[in-house]
Amino acid sequence: MKLAFVGKGGSGKTTLASLFARRAAALGHPVMAVDADINQHLAAALGLDPEAAAMGPVLGERMADIKDYLRGDNPLIPSAELMLKTTPPGPGSRLLTVGETNPLYEEVFTETEGIRFAATGGFVDDDLGVACYHSKVGAVELMLNHLIDTRDEFVVVDMVAGAEAFASGMFTRFDHTFLVCEPTLRSVGVYKQYAGYAADYDVNIAVIGNKIDDEDDVEFLREHVGDALLGWCGRSRYVKAAERGKVGPVEELEAENLAVLDAARERARAAGKDWAKFTRQAHEFHRKAAAAWGNDRAGVDLAEQIVSDFVLGEHLLHTETASTGCR
């Protein structure tokens, strides 16, 4: 399951994404966690050394390698230059699975508590004027578009704050989106904005309330987000201690907060995967990107890279039309 954690700045996206990932991994699920925010805090929240993570190879700097790896020997993508962040896989492309080993994972991912972690890399001064945050996140979009995950595997992406997440087709790359929401007007405002955009794309969204102090807070959220409210986390001593550098085993999180993580996991699994929709939307956003800027730059019609009946899904793991790194 591909899962996004979104919401207003400071609402608790990184905190809940890391706890979700750690809980799922502790229960034995294969888990991948990706920091796709401009402010990179997920490594620290997972208990990794943030400085080492910032120094290490990051996805955003490996775009050309990622493209070269994923295009494999797909004849419709003869070079990395002709691959956009939206270019979908087709026959000959390399597909990814959560649990495999491949050169890409070995180079860019680190492992902690059974979680495979990678970051897009922050926005550094050198980027000003020459690159943008969206091109870095493009590396994640490409990987998600080539990743065959199952219901029992979780790919957790910590997203950029607010509605910035809609600047590309990324928001459609998830089986489920969890919007973290404090009991404030600004936080529910972000939910309303998100739900508005997402409605046209049939995006599954659930709200997880956060930093809830009392029944009034819950009532406020119910009033503003209605049935979208999946559950809520109270202010947590565990999180506070973690913030001070004492990251305990995830089982030590308060029982009621663990229950919310479990409910979120079950919600995602129950919603299931819709590979046909995933593929259709990948094609739709690739056509848009090709028409908007890709074709001009490439000098050819990149929409021709789309193989309409190449639908991503588990069936491809058992065919000869595509390869994954594990073989």
Ligand X SMILES: Nc1ncnc2c1ncn2[C@@H]1O[C@H](COP(=O)(O)OP(=O)(O)OP(=O)(O)O)[C@@H](O)[C@H]1O
Residue 40 interface partner, choices Mg ion, ligand X, none, CB cut-off 5-8 Å depending on type: none
Which one, 161 or 317, has the nearer CB to Mg ion?
161
| Nearest CA-CA partner of 74 in 86, 85, 88, 90 | 90
Which one, 159 or 205, has the nearer CB to Mg ion?
159
List the structure tokens of 52. Answer: 């080492």
Tell me the residue nearest to Mg ion as measured from the CB: 14
Restricted to residues 199-258, the positions that interact with ligand X (CB under 6 A) are 210-211, 233, 235-236, 239-240, 243
Between the alpha carbon of residue 233 and those of residues 4, 195, 272, the distances in Å are 17, 21, 24
Which one, 39 or 150, has the nearer CB to ligand X?
39
The only residue of 26, 39, 189, 325 in contact with ligand X, by rule CB under 6 A: 39
234-241 long-range contacts, Cβ below 8 Å, gap at least 24? 235/211, 239/15, 239/19
Q: How far is the CB of 285 from ligand X (least distance, A)?
A: 25
Give the span between the Cα atoms of 177 and 198, in whole angstroms.
10
User: Which spans of this chain sit near Mg ion (rule: CB under 5 A)?
Assistant: 13-14, 41
**Is residue 279 classed as helix, strand or coil in its secondary structure?**
helix
Between the alpha carbon of residue 102 and those of residues 2, 18, 71, 131, the distances in Å are 20, 24, 14, 27
Give the span between the Cα atoms of 324 and 72, in whole angstroms.
10
Sole window of 37-45, 107-115, 122-130, 283-291 interacting with ligand X (rule: CB under 6 A):
37-45
Sole window of 11-19, 109-117, 282-290, 310-318 interacting with ligand X (rule: CB under 6 A):
11-19
Residues that bind ligand X (CB under 6 A): 7, 9-15, 37, 39, 41, 161, 210-211, 233, 235-236, 239-240, 243
